[in-house]
Structure 1
């Protein structure tokens, strides 16, 4: 089944062309997949957080997969974090793809950036039916301020009352090492 994808990324990776390699490969080249023109993004930023959330929520509409393009600083970007958490709340398939192995506009490659799924988590309720978003502050797990608790598929007894990093559930791949051009469709299937 074909999936409509939302692409989440740090804008610097568009400037460096890495994000575009994935976004424009043969499967997604006819779909903007959640990419917003910079002028639309800047207008929403001037209108405030509510406008940005509305823009992101609208971009996620009618999607079934969210693809997080992981560069050097993606993990720390507030709106990437929101896109990930909102995608989990929606029930989208969510995957991460490391893109630092793709040559940038200067033909440079970089080591993998931190996995954003390691910095975001869900605290599972006692009944296993609610997830409360959490974020790593650098010293402790704290409540995630941009999204409240939401319903999740009931979790088994051993997970209830515990916090799990999103990396517990969400896979990551490397575009170059894992041959993303050939395998992308399988990753989001």
Structure 2
């Protein structure tokens, strides 16, 4: 602990600011979303994230997904941290590509989302996904929608 506050909030203003931010988030109507994707698709996923921040876009969400890989070689630790993020959301959006279809981590994130009772939606770019359908899509009866149709599914 630092700053000489003896582990306490430094002012009542700190608490008020946090409370205000939480209320704004809840009142904004945005869904809390976890985006599951393969690292190789980061550029496409960042476009989706940017679109959600654009006021002219009809896609709106608060992104709780992992932006940087966890600095750990321990799979159980990584799973714990990802599960904490998934638990804070209502929807898991899977960016569907050849990379995600083959990713054990994406499969695990989808399984964990379903286990936690979260809605799961798979999205693809406008040209569509033409690769093999991952078994987890069929097993969990996951709807596949084009990127442009995501807002109506959230």
Place the TM-score, normalised by the shorter chain, in its bin.
0.5 to 0.7
67, 80, 86: which one aligns with 1:60: 86
124, 127, 142: which one aligns with 1:170: 142
> Is the 8 Å Cα contact of residues 123 and 150 (structure 2) preserved in structure 1?
no
Gaps of 5+ in 1: 102-109, 122-163
**Greater helix percent: which structure?**
2
Bigger-Rg structure (1/2): 2
**Greater strand percent: which structure?**
1
Gaps of 5+ in 2: 1-28, 53-58
- Give 1:111 shift: 5.3
Distance in 2 (CA, whole Å) between partners of 1:77 and 1:12 is 10
> Is the 8 Å Cα contact of residues 95 and 124 (structure 2) preserved in structure 1?
yes
SS at match of 2:98: coil
> Is the 8 Å Cα contact of residues 34 and 59 (structure 1) preserved in structure 2?
yes
The RMSD of aligned alpha carbons is 2.3
Task: Verify: 1:35 aligned to 2:66, yes or no.
Answer: yes
Distance in 2 (CA, whole Å) between partners of 1:81 and 1:187 is 21
- Give 1:98 shift: 1.3
Aligned length: 120
